[in-house]
Amino acid sequence: MSDGSKQGGRRGDKRAPPGRSGKRPSPGGAGNRAGDGHRGAAGEAKPTGHAAPRFAKAVSLPPSRPQYPDAWTAVVTPAAVNLVTVGHPWLFSGALQTLDAPTGADREPGGLCVVLAPDGRPLGLGLCNPQSQISVRMLGRLEAEQAPSTLPTLASLVISRLEAATALRRLIGRPAPDRTAYRLVHSEGDALPGLTSDRIGGGASVLVSAASGLRMLPIVADWLMGPGGCTFVVARAAHDAHPSEGLGSGTLLRRGVVAAEGAGSDIQQVQVGQALFTVDPAGGQKGGIFTDQLDNHLAVAGLAKGRFVIDAYCHHGGFGIQAALAGARRVLAIDASQKAVEAAQEAAKQSGVGERFEVVCGDAVHLLADLAAGVGAELGRPDLIVLDPPKFATSKDGLDDALRKYSHVNATAMAALERGGILVSCSCSGRVDRTTFLRMLGHAARRAGRDLQLLELRGAAMDHPSAPVHAEAHYLKVAICRVI
């Protein structure tokens, strides 16, 4: 494991939406974020193989339908009209009757695309990649009276959405003196599909997951370094982006000076509440900090006063450090990565709770199993356990195995808890939907011989907006339970 990442990888995977057949897949169907997604972020569905997408059989189209010489033109199937009008941000190739290239010179992936109903009515604007199974990623609605000659430019669309995203963050208190890390752009949730951006201290990290995001990247970077007020921008390609998106790997763009004043490397210090974290926007996973969990760290901390807390799969120690700051009598943080536990320990010292914050580099399940079996009884039983593991469901075929892993980890934690203790169980795997996740927790409780009370079910932070119909964006589940 590298970059202080969690065991086995991390966030952002998302189930694919109703696909080429028009039928919703079973829970855990194709696709990764992120979402993310994370953490939600914002990964997208990744079709297998490299075959060019096939479109639905063409039907007779109105000869008078609008012509858009400077944009792709996609005509959706009758069944897909509702998908567009209710706000789903993806159109798979099977949802299209026809896809016509611009008559102008620009036919590169990620170009503007006008989406029409079968009767020729304009439905919306998107960004097109004819090589991807997600053929069109929607930008928004298009007024019926919009003339081809008055189509907005991509730059104007992107800038207006960046301004809207910034206004939304201000509405919910981002940034603030005690919140200098947050999600500024959340891909489809902010109508900028295929691209996420986190504000990290004085600058921004950008993750590109699709050709649409790559096309928008120079505009986004210019805005961030100008009106956005950033001192640096670092953009990277998502490691799990499908080859059809044409992103390559590694750093895509770097502007400004990433290192904080006086620092000898690419690091920034950020504040979340009273906690201080040193992050690496250029090399750390997802910009160095999982912004989708920051609100959850603070929420769980409200339950920690006077408790012995275990933060399992701790990464930079966000849950544990906030718990210590809220009055936990003792915190034990566990991760399989030596780099991760060292970063967590340093953050605890910077935050002033180092004396109540211990770290262990090792397998969280083994340690919890020992506690459940009474080994190391001098530690005592924990009163609050947080489980924030990596995505276990990395493929549709692996869903059953992933659920067994989730069940085993959760049952072991329940058995280790004091009766009446609190379990905070997280899953960042979009292939495991909420219903399946909660059912798994019930099976784990039965396996552990315990009863479970669900106190609250949370998701990603408020700065991770999504369309209500975009189930793939609701990848993060955080169940706060009482174990009795």
Rg, C-alpha atoms of the chain:
23
Is there a contact between 15 and 32 (Cβ–Cβ < 8 Å)?
Answer: no
The CATH number of 174-268, from 3.40.710.10, 3.20.20.70, 3.40.50.2000, 3.30.750.80, is 3.30.750.80
The 3-state DSSP class for residue 480 equals strand
Q: E strands along 154-241, which residues? A: 181-186, 195-200, 203-208, 232-237
**DSSP secondary structure, 392-445, as one string:** S--SSTTHHHHHHHHHHHHHHHHHHSPTTEEEEEEE-BTTS-HHHHHHHHHHHH
Quote the tokens at residue 221: 């970077």
Q: Strand pairing partners for 13?
A: 429
Distance, in Å, from the CA atom of 431 to the CA atom of 480, rounded to the nearest integer, reads 20
Domain made up of 53-155: CATH architecture: Roll (2.30)
Distance, in Å, from the CA atom of 208 to the CA atom of 213, rounded to the nearest integer, reads 5
Render each residue's pLDDT in the chain as its tens digit; 484 residues: 434 344 444 444 444 444 444 443 333 333 333 333 334 344 344 444 444 555 555 455 556 677 788 899 999 999 999 999 999 999 999 999 999 999 876 789 999 999 999 998 899 999 999 999 999 999 998 866 566 667 889 999 999 999 999 999 999 999 999 999 999 999 999 999 999 999 999 999 999 999 999 999 999 999 999 999 999 999 999 988 999 999 988 899 999 988 765 555 678 999 999 999 999 998 766 667 999 999 999 999 999 999 999 999 999 999 999 999 999 999 999 999 999 999 999 999 999 999 999 999 999 999 999 999 988 767 789 999 999 998 887 677 789 999 999 999 999 999 999 999 999 999 998 889 999 999 999 999 999 999 999 999 999 999 999 999 998 899 999 999 999 9
Could you tell me which CATH class the domain 289-483 is placed in? Answer: alpha beta
Domain locations along the chain: 53-155, 174-268, 289-483
Q: Phi and psi for 479 in degrees, rounded to 5?
A: -100, 120
Quote the tokens at residue 219: 């505009």
Which residues are annotated as catalytic? 428
Q: What is the model's pTM?
A: 0.86
Q: Phi and psi for 133 in degrees, rounded to 5?
A: -65, -30
